[in-house]
């Protein structure tokens, strides 16, 4: 993060370089970093177990409630409490709250030893819901509720194309690549070779791509972080509250329900993360590249990355503290998780 900020302040033409390397509102270097980051965890998923994961209605219902009721409402309430006098920042924060995570959550889940099949399944469900409900949620939380409560509101229209494009780029490409890698390589080389040779080769790509993505994100906004530190703090405070509250709420509900650690981690990180790529794309397309709403969207992942990395450590600590076991299918399908 420090390295990225230094690059952004020393090399002032970084933004121009990024604009040349962008297609519409999509930064190609960032897209490549995110796709490479997500590909290895998705290549590790045993897709034959997903139908079995879908049978657990308790986990499905809990995840959908956390993602599509609790998450958007909590972010809206935090935006009202912290930013009601700044409608542009308010709108930017709400756009983040209704964009459920479909990308980096796969990395957090993998780092925390979460169940990959459940993680992939929950991300796929979020993607489907997102495509069909984001515009409606935007109208509810950005326009209707603020008007109803007497707050300053901003009318917003989001196209189906914008949402579908985000899902396709940040989930579709790595999902298809991971699925085909597993299918074709196991067919030609066998499952033992795939797990013992191929997976160890691609696994480091996740962390390398994560570091690359962090450097790029911070370099593009390094000057803004220095120029507007108090605005960054204004935005950061509700976001930090959001990530922490969503994670602990989800995790301890899972403990009370007796959900095994790996599935609980998948649910908790899916509920805690947000699809900043979609929120940024929508803010730019509706309000403009240099708008306060887009500024909030860009600050979002800069806050999410360090907080979620810390929550990965917290998740592993809580597993040991409460002696929560992995589910049988995870221990059977992932030898590294065996206790």
The secondary structure of the chain in percent helix, strand, coil, rounded to multiples of 5, reads 80, 0, 15
Confidence (pLDDT) at 188: 96
Confidence (pLDDT) at 338: 45
Global pTM reads: 0.81
Assign 291 to helix, strand or coil.
coil
**Which tokens belong to 84?**
């009601």
Confidence (pLDDT) at 113: 92
Cα 148 to Cα 69: distance, rounded to the nearest angstrom:
18
- Which architecture, in CATH terms, is 2-337? Up-down Bundle (1.20)
Parse the chain into domains and list their residue ranges: 2-337
| Closest among 178, 76, 184, 70 to 124, alpha carbons compared | 178
Confidence (pLDDT) at 286: 77
Residuewise pLDDT in 10s, the chain (339 residues) = 788 888 888 887 887 887 788 877 677 888 888 888 889 888 888 888 778 777 888 889 999 999 999 999 999 999 999 998 899 999 999 999 999 887 788 889 999 999 988 898 898 888 888 878 888 898 899 888 998 888 876 767 766 777 777 778 877 888 899 999 999 999 999 999 998 999 999 989 988 988 888 888 778 776 777 777 888 899 999 999 999 999 999 999 999 999 999 999 999 999 999 988 778 778 877 777 668 888 898 788 889 989 999 999 999 999 998 888 888 666 555 544 544
Cα 14 to Cα 20: distance, rounded to the nearest angstrom:
10
């Amino acid at each position: 993060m420090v390295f990225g900020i230094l690059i952004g302040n020393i090399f002032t033409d970084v933004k121009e370089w990024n604009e040349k390397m962008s297609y519409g509102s999509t930064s190609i270097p960032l897209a490549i970093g995110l796709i490479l980051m997500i590909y290895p965890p998705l290549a590790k998923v045993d897709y034959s177990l997903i139908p079995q994961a879908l049978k657990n209605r308790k986990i499905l219902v809990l995840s959908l409630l956390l993602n599509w009721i609790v998450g958007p409402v909590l972010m809206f309430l935090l935006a009202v409490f912290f930013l009601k006098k700044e409608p542009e920042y308010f709108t930017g924060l709400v756009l983040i709250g209704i964009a459920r995570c479909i990308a980096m959550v796969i990395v957090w889940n993998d780092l925390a030893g979460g169940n990959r099949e459940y993680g992939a399944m929950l991300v796929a469900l979020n993607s489907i819901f997102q495509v069909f409900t984001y515009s409606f949620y935007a109208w509810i939380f950005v326009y209707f509720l603020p008007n109803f409560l007497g707050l300053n509101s901003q009318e917003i229209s989001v196209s189906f194309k914008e949402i579908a494009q985000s899902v396709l780029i940040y989930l579709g490409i790595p999902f298809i690549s991971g699925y085909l890698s597993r299918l074709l390589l196991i067919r030609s080389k066998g499952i033992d070779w795939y797990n013992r040779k191929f997976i160890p080769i691609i696994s480091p790509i996740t962390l390398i791509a994560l570091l690359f993505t962090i450097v790029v994100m911070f370099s593009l906004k390094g000057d803004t972080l220095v120029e507007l530190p108090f605005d960054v703090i204004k935005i950061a405070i509700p976001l930090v509250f959001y990530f922490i509250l969503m994670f602990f709420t989800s995790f301890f509900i899972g403990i009370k329900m007796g959900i095994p650690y790996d599935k609980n981690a998948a649910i908790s990180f899916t509920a805690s993360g947000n699809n900043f790529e979609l929120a940024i794309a929508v803010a730019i397309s509706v309000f403009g590249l240099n708008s306060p709403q887009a500024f909030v969207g860009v600050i979002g992942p800069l806050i999410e990355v360090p907080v979620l990395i810390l929550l990965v450590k917290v998740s592993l600590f809580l597993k040991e503290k409460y002696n929560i076991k992995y589910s049988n299918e995870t221990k059977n399908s992932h030898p590294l998780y065996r206790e």
